[in-house]
Chain A
Amino acid sequence: MKKRSELIIAYYKNPYLQSLEEKRKSLLFTIKIIIFVFVILYLMLIYYFKPQFDDATELLVVFVSIFFLIYYFIIKNYKKEFKEKVIHSLISLFSENFKYYPNGKIDPVKYDLSGLFLKPYDKYEGEDYVKGELNGVNFEFSDIHTQYKTTDSKGRTHWHTIFRGTFFVSEFNKQFKGRVLVYPDYSEKFLGNLANVFQKINTRGLEFVKMDSPEFEREFKVYSDDQILARYVLSTSLMEKILKFKKAINKPLYFSFKHNMMFVAISGNDNFEAPVFKSVSDYEYVEKMISSFYFIVTLVETLSLERKIWKSL
């Protein structure tokens, strides 16, 4: 397994980087021209037809929508090429046990199984699927976007996001019956101990579990069907390690422990997206992109899930 710095160096040594950067620049130029044309066209239409404010807004929405549609098609190939030529080699360099499928996604069954997001979805999308094995522990993850739709009184459909981010699934090193759910806790930061009262009310049919690590309690809220099980799964050392991961990735985290598996949802994370408005060799971008991938891919190691005490029993 490679180190993070080695990956960053390898990224810069990629022979395709130069040609991708040229492609990006020409795309950016095209995009700028399109924006310019759109703005002129819009202003001209406003000037000649002098529409009402409402109509002008509606027209703007139409223009912006068309623009994003065009934008999507313009950068589609470039993003695809970036994944094929840069990300692919980066992942196989990291470990030969890792496989990358840009169009793959986590099986929806596993998303449902986690029990983290109970709202039924109407659309399940995903990309950037990685499957691998680290220290004898199998894992997989991909970016996932789940949405549900509503229809308003005018018959228009609106899409609402349930979860958008990276969804991670791996084996867990302890055998148990039951489930433990860990959610990010926003209320405890403001309300302190008083938050526990609200957390006890909203339990999704499970018991609220107050953990004995104050720092963990501040960041997360825990629900389980068994008080002892929750502490068995979330040992003192695992809580510390989860906090370490939380600090590194710095995104809202959801955990589910069930059927001897661990499910982790990293909200707001988007892996392997090629930059459009920044250079592909922009250090800040490269470091961020590789770091978040690195933290996720080494999660199994960070949480020491390789200690399989029961397997040899």
Chain B
Amino acid sequence: MSGYIGYIVIGAVILLMVLMYNSLVSKKNQVENIFASIDTLLKKRRNLIPNLVESVKAYMKHEKELLEKITALRSKAENVSDDNERMNLENQISSLLGKVLINVENYPELKANENVMHLQMTLAEIEEQISAARRAYNQAVTDYNNAIEMIPTNIMAKFMGYQRKKVFEINEKERENVNVGELFKQ
């Protein structure tokens, strides 16, 4: 009789370990999945930048430096392989792009240009999608980090060599950008 109990206990422990293992893997994959979506969105945005720069260049004489900087950052982001660094570059692009888009408002010729208006709206739309994806990412990372630090999954995570992941920090500058985005939507 006592032998059976031993088997049951071992069975239950194995089952529990399998469940913990699977839940950790699914949390990690969720984080990776959402990260991939952010990447796709950022790529979509990068593809729009040359078009935007080309369309506004002729008018925005005063912002020439700004436009050159964006173009440079863009090609840098294309070629960087380190995720962290790329995200850093993308953040810089976000804030510069915001500046360009506000400045468009100062040029009546640009505001009348259908192509520019179209780009402006597409970018505002992508910006919203990026911000949604970042929020989803942060939640996924929080779930993942919680699992790594909380009992009992933390023991399993240690065996699997899982490390804490960082959430995206939304800095004040970017918050302003979001507000800028609001301007265009009206």
Q: How large is the interface on A (under 10, 10 to 19, 20 to 34, 35 or more residues)?
A: 10 to 19
Task: Give the complex CA separation of A309 and B119 in angstroms.
Answer: 11
- Given the interface pairs A307-B185, A312-B117, the reply to whether A227 lies near B139 with Cβ below 8 Å is yes
Do the beta carbons of A235 and B136 come within 8 Å of each other?
no
Closest Cβ neighbor of A231 among chain B residues = B132
Do the beta carbons of B140 and A227 come within 8 Å of each other?
yes
Q: How far is the CB of A189 from chain B (nearest CB, A)?
A: 21
- Given the interface pairs A312-B117, A312-B121, A313-B121, the reply to whether A231 lies near B136 with Cβ below 8 Å is yes
Q: Say whether A212 faces chain B, with CB atoms less than 8 Å apart.
A: yes
For B131-143 the 0/1 string (1 means CB < 8 A from A) is 1110110111001
Chain B hits for A236, CB < 8 A: 135
Task: Give the complex CA separation of A228 and B33 in angstroms.
Answer: 11
For A226-242 the 0/1 string (1 means CB < 8 A from B) is 01111110011100000
Task: Give the complex CA separation of A313 and B114 in angstroms.
Answer: 9
- Given the interface pairs A310-B121, A312-B121, the reply to whether A210 lies near B139 with Cβ below 8 Å is yes
Q: How far is the CB of A301 from chain B (nearest CB, A)?
A: 13
Q: Which of B89-97, B103-111, B122-130, B152-160 contacts A (4 or more CB under 8 A)?
A: B122-130
Q: How far is the CB of B19 from chain A (nearest CB, A)?
A: 14
Do the beta carbons of A228 and B136 come within 8 Å of each other?
yes
Closest Cβ neighbor of B134 among chain A residues = A231
For A293-313 the 0/1 string (1 means CB < 8 A from B) is 000000000000001011011
- Given the interface pairs A210-B139, A227-B34, A228-B37, the reply to whether A309 lies near B132 with Cβ below 8 Å is no
- Given the interface pairs A309-B125, A310-B121, the reply to whether A232 lies near B132 with Cβ below 8 Å is yes
For A212-227 the 0/1 string (1 means CB < 8 A from B) is 1000000000000001
Do the beta carbons of A235 and B186 come within 8 Å of each other?
no
Chain B hits for A174, CB < 8 A: 128
Do the beta carbons of A307 and B139 come within 8 Å of each other?
no
Do the beta carbons of B186 and A307 come within 8 Å of each other?
yes
Q: Say whether B69 faces chain A, with CB atoms less than 8 Å apart.
A: no
Closest Cβ neighbor of A175 among chain B residues = B125
Q: How far is the CB of A291 from chain B (nearest CB, A)?
A: 28
Closest Cβ neighbor of B122 among chain A residues = A313
Q: Which residues of B contact A (CB under 8 A)?
A: 30, 34, 37, 117-118, 121-122, 124-125, 128-129, 131-133, 135-136, 138-140, 143, 182, 184-186
Could you list 23 examples of A-B contacts with CB < 8 Å? A210-B139, A210-B143, A212-B135, A212-B138, A212-B139, A227-B136, A227-B139, A227-B140, A228-B34, A228-B37, A228-B133, A230-B136, A231-B132, A231-B135, A231-B136, A232-B128, A232-B133, A235-B132, A236-B135, A307-B185, A309-B124, A310-B125, A313-B121
**Given contacts A228-B37, A309-B121, A313-B121, could you give 15 more A-B pairs where the C-beta distance is less than 8 Å?**
A212-B135, A227-B30, A227-B34, A228-B34, A228-B129, A228-B132, A228-B133, A231-B133, A232-B129, A232-B132, A309-B124, A309-B184, A310-B121, A310-B125, A313-B118
